[in-house]
Structure 1
Amino acid sequence: MKIVKHIANLGYGSRKQVMAMFREGRVADAAGEVLYADDPVDHAAIRIDGEPLDPPPGLTLMLHKPVGYTCSTKDAGRLIYDLLPPRFRLRSPLLSSVGRLDRDTSGLLLMTDDGALLHRIVSPKSKLPKVYEATLAQDLRGDEAALFASGTLMLDGEDKPLLPAQLEALSPRQARLTLHEGRYHQARRMFAAAGNHVAALHRSRIGGLAQGDLPAGEWRILGEQDLRVLFGAF
């Protein structure tokens, strides 16, 4: 791929804008030598205004999504892309969220521009558990764990029972819920089916990958070891 197209696909600008960067001498190699648009050069050796390029295609990251942000590129209001470098929203292929967290749910969100990896993560065949911490409006009754684990719970408007899920009571109004599928607003709807209401919801883990101490609104790039942890034992 030509260097101009490569830089444009990373979101630095249109091809015309990237060409202007070359003419202005803003694109150089690691030694500071100005590059030309037809120079053969590896991604790792390119600098723009003295800074290395953003990661090449194949980028996967984890984001600690705060409450109030929407997993969308177009919706009104605050978007998850507002928490990332502006160029990331313009990358091609698109950097997409792997599934969604609704506006009022916080926690671990994965994003990638690797379509095959995205499909592998969200596929039911992967059986990646998702762990949520829920704060409830009312005390737990005590029978929710058995109900959620039964494999017979039906959500309103659906005709297929949920897969068994695990519930751990942390306090009278706090619970840890582990899901093995990803239906629309599933955690909130499960507690509603049990006669309760979720006041706050946070996703802390996907597969073997935990949010850890990543602060709200922050993100980090995932490496091969992270992906092995994601799909590893959990």
Structure 2
Amino acid sequence: MSKFKGDRKKPFIRKEKEEGDKKGKRPAKKNFGKKPFFKKKDEKAEKKTFADEGKIRLNRYLANAGICSRREADKLIESGVVQINGKVVTELGTKVEPGDTVHYGGELISGEKKQYVLLNKPKDYITTMDDPQKRRTVMELVQKACKERIYPVGRLDRATSGLLLLTNDGQLTKRLTHPSSNVRKVYQVTLDKNVNQNHMIQLVEGVELEDGVSTADKAFYAKDGDKSQVILELHSGKNRIIRRMMETLGYKVTKLDRTQFAGLTKKDLPRGRFRHLSEKEVGLLHRVAGMSPQQ
């Protein structure tokens, strides 16, 4: 009988890689069940669109910083007195990306005050700045949070609820969303049937997906006596990773809720509401991202 029998206090924890794994040796492929429906083309298009959302036109950036109006900013740009990342920019329509540095007249322009907003996202909201199909977006829920334009850090799909960080701190966003980042995320997953112990172990040892092997760092049952709800802790930022892992093992996710993100929790944050992070929490995020608060 397994020592992990239904005890949610004893999680299935992924072991450290063996010496052979450190040298890049991939585990042997196994047949873990039917592969999920997967459209590479659509995912790439989604990522490209989402990446473009963080950009802002240079004239608007200057106007937001209080330098001048947008029309006057266009004249400044054409005159060659504005630089992005040390290079003179004269082309109208140029966009500033999160993390770019902008100089005007030799002085660094700080576009806006940095804001950090934590949202407890309900399902049926799209994680995007604007939706051509006029579906509800997460931006509707935080429109009164601050005057600055903030952006989602990563994404939660429409059917997923839980913690979503929004900020205008471009450097922090890049660090937290980079594939090499070590950001801890915890999800409560409700399935259409009980998850057996062998599959719980397999979740931490590795599930073969179309884009490679994916693993959870920890997996345990959410409630004693209920094996249809599990808690998964992972660092992967792959698209729909939990749904795809569970589908591959033969389960359908009926509810997915992110309960923790980079050390932040849902405590005292009702569904659909937001709050501003404290200085201590902002400092925590910078440490998680491996950067100082001044960066």
In the superposition, the TM-score normalised over structure 1's length comes to 0.69
Distance 1:225 1:15 in 2: 40
1:182 CA displacement:
1.0
CA deviations 1:3-32 (Å, max 9, x no partner) are xx888469xx9899xxxxxxxxxxxxxxxx
1:108 CA displacement:
0.2
Equivalent residues of 2:216, 2:233 under 8 A apart: no
Equivalent residues of 1:81, 1:88 under 8 A apart: no
CA deviations 1:85-139 (Å, max 9, x no partner) are 2685873xxx110010011110000011111000111123331111000111111
**After the TM superposition, which residues 172-187 of structure 1 pair with which residues of structure 2 at under 5 Å, given as runs?**
172-187=227-242
Q: Does 1:227 align with 2:282?
A: yes
CA deviations 1:64-90 (Å, max 9, x no partner) are 101111011221211111112268587
Gap regions ≥5 residues in structure 2:
1-60, 73-111, 289-295
Distance 1:125 1:84 in 2: 29
**After the TM superposition, which residues 1-234 of structure 1 pair with which residues of structure 2 at under 5 Å, given as runs?**
8=64, 56-75=112-131, 76-85=134-143, 91=149, 95-150=150-205, 152-155=206-209, 158-170=210-222, 171-230=226-285
1:144 CA displacement:
2.0
> Measured at CA, do residues 90 and 127 of structure 1 come closer, stay the same or move farther in structure 2, by a change above 3 Å?
closer
Distance 2:62 2:280 in 1: 26
| Total equivalences in the alignment | 184
Distance 1:161 1:113 in 2: 33
Distance 1:136 1:87 in 2: 34
Distance 1:132 1:189 in 2: 14
> Measured at CA, do residues 115 and 214 of structure 1 come closer, stay the same or move farther in structure 2, by a change above 3 Å?
same
Distance 2:259 2:121 in 1: 11
1:160 CA displacement:
2.0
The one of the two structures with greater contact order (alpha-carbon pairs below 8 A, sep at least 6) is 2
In the superposition, the TM-score normalised over structure 2's length comes to 0.56
1:165 CA displacement:
3.0
What do you get for the CA RMSD once the two structures are aligned?
2.9
Identity %: 32
1:220 CA displacement:
1.0
1:51 maps to what in 2? none
Gap regions ≥5 residues in structure 1:
17-55
Distance 1:60 1:87 in 2: 9
